[in-house]
Amino acid sequence: MEVKKLDSWFQVKVSDAQKNQTIESYLKNEWQFPKKLLHELRMAKGCKVNGEIKPWNMILLPDDQVEILLFNEEDYGVTPQNQSIEICYEDDHLLIVNKPFGVDTHPNEKGQLNTLANGVAYHFQENGLKIKVRHIHRLDKDTTGGVVFAKHALSSSILDSMLSQRKIKRTYTAIVEGNVKSLKGTINEPIGRDRHHPTRRRVSPKGDKAITHYTKKKYISKSNITILECQLDTGRTHQIRVHLSFLGHPLIGDVLYGGKRKLLNRQGLHASNVQLIHPFTKEELSINIPFPTDIQQILNEKR
Burial 271-295 (b: 16+ CB within 10 A, else e): bbbbebebbbeeeeeeeebebbeeb
Indicate if the alpha-carbon torsion angle 226, 229, 233, 239 is positive or negative: positive
Indicate if the alpha-carbon torsion angle 86, 89, 92, 95 is positive or negative: negative
Whether 5 shows a pLDDT value over 70: the answer reads: no
Helix (H) or strand (E) holding 277, with range, is strand 269-277
Q: Does the pTM of the predicted model rise above 0.85?
A: yes
Helix (H) or strand (E) holding 156, with range, is helix 153-164
> For this structure, is 140 an active site residue?
yes
Question: Strand ranges (DSSP E) for 130-248?
Answer: 134-135, 144-150, 169-177, 184-188, 191-193, 201-203, 211-220, 225-232
Q: What is the set of domains in the chain, with CATH numbers?
A: 3-69 (3.10.290.10), 72-165 (3.30.2350.10), 171-270 (3.30.2350.10)
Q: Of the residues 91, 92, 140, 294, which is catalytic?
A: 140
Each residue of 237-249: pLDDT tens digit?
999 999 999 999 9
The per-residue pLDDT of the chain, averaged, comes to 94
Whether 271 shows a pLDDT value over 70: the answer reads: yes
